[in-house]
């Protein structure tokens, strides 16, 4: 079983490396797919961070309005 797992992980590693190399070499509108993916991931991180802080702000405001100010 351990040998089968090791073989699967090794195949997955090779597949990921192949995909990454392909993404680096493939150019779309003057940028590599790797650059496009990095931009997408950065935008997603930025959005999730803003949403996290917005949620905290809303919850804190709700707490103030309902429990502190009243």
Q: 38 lies in which domain range? A: 2-68
Instruction: Name the residue among 47, 43, 44, 20 with its Cα closest to residue 33.
Output: 20
Could you report the per-residue pLDDT of 11-40, keeping only the tens digit for each?
A: 999 999 999 999 999 999 999 999 999 999
Residue 28's DSSP bridge partners are: 31
- Whole-number pLDDT of residue 62: 92
CA distances from 20 to 6, 9, 24 (A): 21, 16, 6
Task: Check pLDDT > 90 for residue 69.
Answer: no
Show Cβ contacts of residue 6 under 8 Å, excluding neighbours closer than 6 positions. none
Count of the separate structural domains present in the chain: 1
Q: Under a CB-based contact definition with an 8 Å cutoff, are residues 44 and 58 in contact?
A: no
Rounded to two decimals, the pTM is 0.71
């Amino acid at each position: 079983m351990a040998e089968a797992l090791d073989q699967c992980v090794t195949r997955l590693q090779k597949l990921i490396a192949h995909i990454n190399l392909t993404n680096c070499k493939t150019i779309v509108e003057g940028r590599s797919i790797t650059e496009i993916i990095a931009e997408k991931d950065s935008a997603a991180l930025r959005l999730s961070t803003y949403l996290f802080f917005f949620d905290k702000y809303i919850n804190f405001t709700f707490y103030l309005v309902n429990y502190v100010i009243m």
